[in-house]
Amino acid sequence: MGLLDGLRAALGLRAETDARRDADPEDLFGMSTAYLTMEAELGYRSLDMGALCFSGVDSHSFRDAVDEVEAILEAGQEDTGTQFTVTDDDHGYHWVVLEDSDPEDLITSMHFAADTFIERGYGSRLLAAVFAYENRDGPAYWIYSFRRGAYYPFAPRSGRERDSSAEFKLEAALDGELQIEREKEYWYPLWPSQRGTHPWE
């Protein structure tokens, strides 16, 4: 299975039976308390960054939906202070990358973006929401799969290795606070490009 095939499978683009339910951006608010647990109990600080990963459609309607997401986020910048960019990665996926030192505003802005895609009929194009953290051992991400309706941890290390012990510790600590993906085959790594630092780079 190739990289893109694996990503599509892991994030829910295989058979329809793999999907638990439709995309629900309300699930993103679970991170509102989880970031406190990450810091207080596990020593992870938020990197004040998050991102939505989505697959594109070659249509004017979809381009209009992306334009609307950008317009909503731009309009909300004055209230929330959330900065954003829309970018593509080396694998052909699209990202809305958000930065905000206030986790509540970051999550709210991400929710607005995801909800706009869904309202415009493109909820099925949403793949994942990614929240970035770091401790002395390195970065860690909570990845929310929209098609699976669940979170899983991802702790990348140099050489495209994963810190499995860190991921299992995160799972144990946040179980019950977040809806955790139970099937480990869906804990798919979202590696950055060779020059990147984060999954969206």
What is the spatial distance between Cα 201 and Cα 197, in angstroms, rounded to a whole number?
Answer: 6
The residue whose two tokens read 């731009």 is 74
Provide the whole-model pTM.
Answer: 0.88
- Chain segment 2-30, per-residue pLDDT in tens: 444 455 555 555 534 455 556 678 999 99
Dihedral pair phi/psi, residue 103, rounded to 5°: -60, -35
Instruction: Domains for the chain: give ranges and CATH numbers.
Output: 3-186 (3.30.70.1130)
Q: Are 200 and 51 in contact (CB under 8 A)?
A: yes
Strand partners, 142: 131, 153
Chain Cα centroid distance, residue 26 = 13
For residue range 145-167, list pLDDT tens digits in order. 998 999 999 999 988 899 999 99
